[in-house]
Amino acid sequence: MKSLLDRPAPTDAAALTLRRGAARVLIDNWTGTSTVPSRTLYPHQWSWDSAFIAIGLRHLSARRAQQELESLLAGQWADGRIPHIVFNPALPYDAYFPSPDFWRSSAAGRAAGAPAAAETSGIVQPPVHALAAWLVHRADPAESRRRGFLHRVLPRLSSWHDYLLACRDLGGAGLAAVVHPWEPGMDNSPCWDEALRRIEPAPQDAFQRADLDHGHPADRPTDLDYGRYVRLAADYRDAGYDDRAARFAFAVEDPCFNALLIVSERALAAMARETGADATVHTTRAEALTRRLVARLWDEQAGIFRARDLITDTLVEERSVSGLVPLLVPDLPPHIVDRLLDTLTGPSFTAPATGLVPSYDLRGHAFDAHRYWRGPAWFNTAWLIHQGLHTHALDAEATALRSAFVTEAGATGFAEYVDPATGRPRGARHFSWTAALTLDLLCADAKEPTP
C-alpha cells in the first residue's frame, strides 16, 4: 500500500515544519486506541474532537484514522446516540469532571442502551462523524475497501442519525434539538444565556471542577454557568437519559448542529452508493433538513442563522459563529449564501489582526476575547467555514481563511483557541483538532468538496 505520507505535500520549509509539528501533536496525544484532545485539560475521548482528528489523521495513516472513529463508535448506545465522552478506565475519576461516577451511564442509561463495559457521558455532540468517515474513506479507498471500513461504520452512523431525527425532534418541525449547552459544542456561548437563566444551578459544594487545574479561570466558563451545566446533566441522568420521559428545561435547535447533520446525511448517501446500498433515504433527509433549517432558523434581516429556543419557541437574539457554519450546506438558496458572506466579512465577524472568525459577534454586548466560546476564535469552526466557502465556489475568501488558519495555528503552538484581536493563544496548547485540521489544510486534497 502506498503510504499517505507519499502523497503531494507542502514543499516549502515553513509548511513542512508546520506539518511535522502537527503530526507530532497527534502522535503525542495518541493513547493506543484513540486521541485525546489534550493530555491535561481533556484526557478522555471526545466525540466531535475524534471526528475532526480523524480528518487530519487520514493524511498520516488511513488505518489510524479509521481506528479513531471506530473506537468512538464502540461507545455508542443501543438507541443510536454517540456519547460526547468515552472515558478511559485507566484514569482516576478526578482527572476530569463530570467523571464516570457522575454520569453513571452503565446503570442510569441501561434502559436507553448504554454499553455495559465502556463508561460514557449521556449527552451528545454535533454529528460531524459521517462526514469524517467519508473523508477518511476517500483518503485511501483501496485500504478502506480492503478492511470493510464503510460496511462497518455505515449502519452505526445511520443509527446515530436515526436517533437524532426520531428522539431529538423536540420541536416537532424536523430539526434535531440539543438539551444541554455541551451538546452543540459551544458550551458557554452567549446564545445560551437567556435559556440558562431559567436553570437553578447545582450548589457549588456539589461538584469539584477539574478544568481549572489546567486552564486559566479567565478562559473558562464561570462557576455559575458550571453549576447550571451540572444541574441539567444530573436531571437528564436521573430521568434515565430517556428523551421521552425527561422534562427538558433547556432545548434548542442549533444551526451548526443541524448543518452538520445535513452534510453528514449527504456523506451517508455517498457511503451508501459506494457500498451498493440505497442512498435515497439520506438524500431525501438532507433535502428536507435544508428546507427546515432555512424555514426555522434563518433570520433574513440579521443575515445569519439563529438558534431557536424551544421552551419559548423564539429565535435567540444573539449572533454567533454557529450561525455562519451553515455555509457548509450545498443547496442553500443563493441569496442566503450572499447574505452569509456579507455577515462573515462584515464588522461583526472580521478580526483583521488574525483573519480568523470570532465565536461571537465582535460588537455584541457579551463579547469576551478570552472566555471560551464568548469571543475567541476557534480552529474547528474556521475549518468548517473554509469548507463552506469552497462549497459555494468562494475560493478567494477560502484561501484567505486558510492562510490565517495555518499562520495562527503555527504561531500559537496549535492552541485550542485564540484571542481574535491579538492572536494570543488561549486554552490548551498542542490541541489535537487544531493540529489535525492544520494537517488537512496543508495537504493537497484539502479542497475536496462537501459530499
CA distances from residue 13 to 146, 306, 401, 405 in whole angstroms, order as listed: 35, 42, 21, 18
Between CA 373 and CA 449 the distance in angstroms is 27
Helices (H), 104-189: 105-108, 129-139, 141-147, 149-167
Residues 6+ apart with CB under 8 A from 258: 175, 176, 289, 292, 293, 297, 326
CA distances from residue 383 to 1, 72, 290, 405, 441 in whole angstroms, order as listed: 29, 22, 21, 8, 8
Between CA 345 and CA 327 the distance in angstroms is 13
Residues 6+ apart with CB under 8 A from 35: 26, 29, 45, 49, 50, 53, 57, 68, 432
Residues 6+ apart with CB under 8 A from 369: 375, 376, 419, 420, 421, 422
- Please answer whether residues 386 and 441 qualify as being in contact, where contact means their C-beta atoms are separated by less than 8 angstroms: yes
Between CA 46 and CA 185 the distance in angstroms is 10
Residues 6+ apart with CB under 8 A from 146: none
Using only C-alpha atoms, what is the Rg of the chain? 20
Between CA 376 and CA 371 the distance in angstroms is 7
Q: Which contacts qualify for 42-46: CB closer than 8 Å, 24 or more apart?
A: 42/96, 42/428, 43/88, 43/91, 43/95, 43/96, 44/85, 44/86, 44/87, 44/88, 44/91, 44/95, 44/96, 45/71, 45/72, 45/75, 45/85, 45/86, 45/87, 45/88, 46/84, 46/85, 46/125
Residues 6+ apart with CB under 8 A from 113: 77, 78, 79
Residue written as cell 474547528? 380
Residue written as cell 448506545? 77
Q: Which residues are catalytic?
A: 187, 416
Q: What is the DSSP letter of 377?
A: E
13-28 vs 47-57: helix crossing angle, rounded to 10: 140
| 304-305 and 298-299 beta bridge pairing | antiparallel
